[in-house]
Amino acid sequence: MTDLTRLTAHEMADRLRAGDVSSRELTEAHLDVAERQNHGLNAWLSIDRERALAEADAADERLRSARDARTSASSELHPMLGIPVALKDLVSVAGGQCTAGSRILDGYRAPYDAHITEQLRRVGAVILGKTNMDEFAMGSSTEHSGFGPTANPWALDRVPGGSSGGSAAAVAAFHAPISIGTDTGGSIRQPAALTGIVGMKPTYGRVSRYGIVAFASSLDQIGPFARDVRDAAALLHAVAGRDERDSTSSPEPVPEGLLALAASDDEAATSLRGKRLGLPREYFVAGMEPGVEARVREGVAALEGAGAIVEEVSLPHTEYGLATYYIVAPAEASANLARYDGIRYGRRLGEGRDVLGDYLATRGMGFGPEVKRRVMLGTYALSAGYYDAYYLKAQKVRTLIKGDFDALWADGFDALVAPTSPTVAFRFGARLEDPVSMYLSDACTLPVNMAGLPGISIPTGLSDGLPVGLQLIGAPWSEARLLELARGYEAITATAEWRTIEPTDLAALDEPGTPTPAERLASMAAVDR
């Protein structure tokens, strides 16, 4: 019998429509493996079997009545109907936990559904549970979670990237075919690269953030993870679109092309012909691993082989991206996180004698070290006497960074092609002691957030047995074209040997006595000292 967890979402959708499998069977298969393996992976912060099965039964009912109607009713069903999905634990699901990876939200229950939760319910997707993440999405390794790190299914002693590491690991380990993440400086694309899957950050404003725990409001955007491009596109289609409760969500129509990507590899490959792609030289940064650069350059050569025109280009302000980002994002975070005061929601620590004392205790003990660091940085950058030197300066440099990209779109480039992460997945603890080395993980992704652009990371082979991601960056609102190009790349590499290799450590997750990621991190930190 086929292992149902190995199917892509569109394969599941085909079988659901044909009546070969039920959503309940799909859901149970994924819940079983997720519950069994979470001890060693820690990708999930909560799994709600009862709710998921109820949603699956409702999806099966919709499928059944569409089949009974015998008309074209089933063609009107969304491809996400009955498909299991994982949500990063900062997406509100009414009545469910929503920790954002922080102990300060331990015990909090979301009073309402996020917009994207409503959208997923509307199309009939099945929410399996909530995934681990760096606290308030601040981090590039998921080691900053208040609930222990997540392991990478390719090597259990390494990080899955972050901040959406749980959503990425869950999809890479076949615990779910698709999942939702958020990307503020690379938090979807970088973990997608490090776990060998597809991850897309859409244009700023493409997806409503109503009901999502905010980190940096001028940068945050929601997006999909999947094991292939068509699934990522279909999930984006389900959640995208204008919502009046998020005033930054755009009235730009959701392209129906997201559901029309070529199924045949031959057809998909033709979409690359004649496309003009820029290769930004600044993205081959110092400290990039030779194996990563080799895979990326091979990917570029493959694109050229398929008829794309690749030209080296310059994004001259790239080197200022990191400093700009690490002023703007913490500044916005320090304002957004002021709401965690222990009064209206979240844990309250302290003695209850005076409000200031309770604030200090609640926030001092409730937040983890990286969140405190960023709140400190942001508060400083916005404080009297430093605002012009830091925050205003960073916003001006942001204009220059965005201008670099705008010039290339004006020049007629269809997209840019670049590495996603300068390195493969690193070992637990390797970057924890030096925040600046952790921040460098996002050097190739955060300029895209600064400019509000869509970007996608797609697998492009292995280096020393660990996945490497290829990043495609597009002009605002060009998701459909970007996904078409990504689908083209997937098609021309469809028969590559590395595509047949599954994450190396999946079997180890089933071994009794497998250590938890927290235990691995503790033992490796001990070795380092």
Of residues 94 through 133, those in contact with other proteins by CB under 8 A are 108-109, 111-112
Judge whether 463 and 289 are in contact, CB under 8 Å.
yes
Tokens of 104: 């300060």
CB of 183 to other proteins, least distance (A): 14
CB of 22 to other proteins, least distance (A): 34
Is 208 a residue of the active site?
Answer: no
Based on CB atoms, which residue is closest to other proteins, 218 or 516? 218
Is 383 a residue of the active site?
Answer: no
3-state secondary structure of 126: strand
CA dihedral 251, 233, 274, 404 (to 10 degrees): 50
Give how many residues touch other proteins by CB under 8 A.
75
Tell me the β-bridge partners of 279.
Answer: 312
Concatenated DSSP letters of 70-106: -SGGGGGS-TTTT-EEEEETTB--TTSB--TT-GGGT
Whole-angstrom Cα distance, residue 345 to residue 351? Answer: 17
CB of 323 to other proteins, least distance (A): 5
Site for other proteins contains 301 (CB under 8 A): no
Q: Which amino acid is at 61?
A: E
Binding segment for other proteins (CB under 8 A), chosen from 201-209, 255-263, 292-300, 416-424, is 201-209
Is 271 a residue of the active site?
Answer: no
Catalytic entry in 23, 74, 88, 92: 88
Task: Give the torsion sign (CA, 460, 461, 462, 466).
Answer: positive
Site for other proteins contains 356 (CB under 8 A): yes
Whole-angstrom Cα distance, residue 140 to residue 11? Answer: 32
Binding segment for other proteins (CB under 8 A), chosen from 137-145, 202-210, 301-309, 521-529, is 202-210
Site for other proteins contains 248 (CB under 8 A): yes
3-state secondary structure of 2: coil
Binding segment for other proteins (CB under 8 A), chosen from 48-56, 198-206, 462-470, 487-495, is 198-206
Which of 202, 452, 455, 517 lies at the binding interface for other proteins (CB under 8 A)? Answer: 452
DSSP symbol at 340: -
Site for other proteins contains 361 (CB under 8 A): yes
Whole-angstrom Cα distance, residue 474 to residue 456? Answer: 9
Whole-angstrom Cα distance, residue 127 to residue 425? Answer: 28
Site for other proteins contains 525 (CB under 8 A): no
Residues whose CB falls within 8 Å of the CB of residue 118, separated by 6 or more in sequence, listed in order: none
CB of 436 to other proteins, least distance (A): 6
Site track 315-344 with other proteins (rule: CB under 8 A), x = hit: --x-xx-xxx-xx------x---x--xxxx
Site track 390-419 with other proteins (rule: CB under 8 A), x = hit: x-xxxxxxxxx-x-----------------
Which of 12, 258, 377, 485 lies at the binding interface for other proteins (CB under 8 A)? Answer: 377
- Residues labelled catalytic: 88, 163, 187
